[in-house]
A and B are shown apart, each in its own frame.
Chain A
Amino acid sequence: MNYFLTDDQKMIRDLAAQIAREKIAPIVAELDETGEFPWDVVKTLAQSDLFRVFIPSEYEGLGGGIFEMCIVVEELSRVCGGIALSYAASGLGTIPIILFGTEEQKKKYLPRLAAGEILAAFGLTEPNAGSDAAGIKTTAKPDGDSYVLNGTKQWITNGGEASIYTVVALTDPARGVRGSSTILVEKDTPGFTFGKKENKMGIRASATRELVFQDCRVPKTNILGKEGMGFLIAMRTLDQSRPGVASQAVGIAQGALDKALAYAHERHQFGKPISSFQGMQFLLADMATQVEAARALTYAAARSIDSGEKDVSKVSAMAKVFASDTAMKVTTDAVQVFGGYGYMKEYPVEKMMRDAKITQIYEGTNQIQREVIALNLIKEHVRAKK
């Protein structure tokens, strides 16, 4: 399918695919087993300039946008959704700096993030504030020239590995979510520690940890935007980052389809390749159609964002829902194509099925996404009637 990629975008895609093939594929199974963080791959991605693609050129990026980030995430996910997540989550942590950072903050962090010298992470979720993100309890009390953070963030991707964390905390707890702010916290700030590394079902090569703040003092200049903008910044950030999750899902699904197709072609039963049976053909045809539809919607969402369109919540949520549901379905079907072998760890598709599941859950569950879509639909309807 022709998605009218520019020469630069094709170049990005091909290089990401080459890295996935040559540097990631050989270590996928091992990292899935050990859960070790893929620093070697991160270094390769950095050296190849892939962290630069979505960062403005004024800050040593290559000036692309969400679409360029999505291309990279998709190609990496095709081989390993876990390693791709480490890249995507750094993007998630970087987006609020790009969108709301002061010139000084951008100059301080973006060039190093672009070079891939450091990773970023985004801290919103708490033990009791998941889908109800407005229920966060972490505080950042103003005190002179500082904010003093207390509280715990949960399931933070790149936790412990990233050097810079964008954390949503209450600067004015009395005002609830309207008193929330987004604050940059650097690793190694006194009072900032990490909880245990989570033992996950999938995306095991990615690091997921708690961020623990105990009287952690950061300068007031570390705030993004203004006090009280925390929740807004978080929502705007997630609107932009969700196509990244969708791309991860598309990549995982495409990877599973690649494997299923190759297997169906070489596996013989009843004296014929199983790809010659209609039952198998229909399965593969549906998988391919769903992946292509998911990709088309994801690309459309990413391009809408990059075009500067204001209200992208709906399309961004649609891409995330559709692509992640597709990934779950396609990877499950891929295991089916492999039959008993598909259930075994020696074969690659059971991992893809495990990796796919999280895309329906994180960065807003698919139930929350549907709520976002519906609320926007109703809003648009009411507006049209006026």
Chain B
Amino acid sequence: MKVIVCIKQVPDTTNVRINPETNTLVREGVQSIINPFDCYALEEGIRIREKHGGTVTVLTMGPPQAAEALREAISLGADEAVLVSDRAFAGADTLATAYTLAAAIRKLAGAPEGTPEGTPEGTPEGAPLGSGADIILMGRQAIDGDTGQVGPGVAENLGIPHITDIRKIEEIAGSRIVVERLLEEGYARLATSLPVVLTVVKEINEPRLPSLKGKLAARKKEIPVLKAAELEADPERFGLVGSPTQVMKIFTPPKPSGGKKFTGEPSETVGALLAELASAGISIRKK
């Protein structure tokens, strides 16, 4: 089983601040971590390898320092790591990120069997994926952007199925996979074919801690860097140029102030609340 885990290096959000003048995250002095949801994806990837054999490759798109996140992933048990890094990728929104990651995965997966040398003209969407990627895992969302769009975006670009919010991989048999997808109330049991993109929720497992052997391996690991020119893709769709979304403003919402507390027995407070709402012109209709 060839597993690719896409991870993102994010600021540790327990102490995120925003510069009110530039509306950007203050990165100075903030520790970078692997997006916590991606840690569950990595752990699941390692468990798939432990059960079915194969390899786990971690992939991230980011600046050169994102290699640190990849090293951490190696210390946690990944076999290989690839950094997708180029100035051309900077400023990517989720669309451009998904496009770029898909191109990188296509590259890692190798050429599909039976296709002649070389790649199709222009952009390779829809072309079959090589055998180097059976399962592509990632966290359900990154804790900095919180969009949850990159997983499905990657799958669309690769022309393969995706299932989001996986809480359990029930079975992998041949090229068929059965999973449980977390829903608001309960879960759905779904089956699909490989290759597939899965995004995971934290209920799926409890990630292990790093091992000393892993840390020693991570220290020595050569991490190849994939540049824009090495990807079979349309450069117009990379980075800022390929990003229709523009961030107008990032701000810390003001803390809610005022408000009124109703304390006491519900039999009294509910009536008082309704009266207050009615006096403010808000009516509650009875069903």
Collect the chain A residues with CB atoms within 8 Å of residue B208's CB.
Answer: 44, 47-48
State the main secondary structure of chain B at its contact with A.
Answer: helix
B209 is an interface residue with CB less than 8 A from chain A:
yes
Collect the chain B residues with CB atoms within 8 Å of residue A48's CB.
Answer: 208-212
Cβ contact within 8 Å between A47 and B211: yes
Q: Chain B: interface residue count, which band?
A: under 10
List residues 201-244 of chain B with CB under 8 A from any CB of chain A: 208-216
> What's the Cα separation between A111 and B209 when bound, in Å?
21
State the main secondary structure of chain A at its contact with B.
Answer: helix
Cβ contact within 8 Å between B209 and A49: no
Which listed segment binds B: A15-23, A182-190, A252-260, A347-355? A15-23
Cβ contact within 8 Å between B211 and A11: no
Of A8, A12, A15, A53, the contact of B209 (CB 8 Å cutoff): A15
| A199 CB to nearest B CB, Å | 32
Collect the chain A residues with CB atoms within 8 Å of residue B214's CB.
Answer: 49
A62 is an interface residue with CB less than 8 A from chain B:
yes
Cβ contact within 8 Å between B209 and A11: no
Cβ contact within 8 Å between B209 and A22: yes
A170 is an interface residue with CB less than 8 A from chain B:
no
> What's the Cα separation between A50 and B212 when bound, in Å?
7
List residues 35-63 of chain A with CB under 8 A from any CB of chain B: 44, 47-50, 52-53, 62
Collect the chain B residues with CB atoms within 8 Å of residue A53's CB.
Answer: 212
> What's the Cα separation between A8 and B211 when bound, in Å?
12
> What's the Cα separation between A332 and B208 when bound, in Å?
36
Collect the chain B residues with CB atoms within 8 Å of residue A22's CB.
Answer: 209
> What's the Cα separation between A15 and B209 when bound, in Å?
8
Cβ contact within 8 Å between A23 and B209: yes
> What's the Cα separation between A44 and B213 when bound, in Å?
14
Nearest A residue to B209 by beta-carbon distance?
A48
Task: Mark B residues whose CB is within 8 Å of A.
Answer: 208-216
A-B contact pairs, 18 of them (CB 8 A): A11-B212, A11-B215, A12-B212, A15-B209, A15-B212, A18-B210, A22-B209, A23-B209, A47-B209, A47-B211, A48-B208, A48-B211, A49-B212, A49-B213, A49-B214, A52-B213, A53-B212, A62-B213
Task: Mark A residues whose CB is within 8 Å of B.
Answer: 8, 11-12, 15, 18-19, 22-23, 44, 47-50, 52-53, 62
Closest 7 A/B residue pairs (Cβ): A49-B212, A49-B211, A48-B211, A49-B213, A48-B209, A11-B215, A47-B208
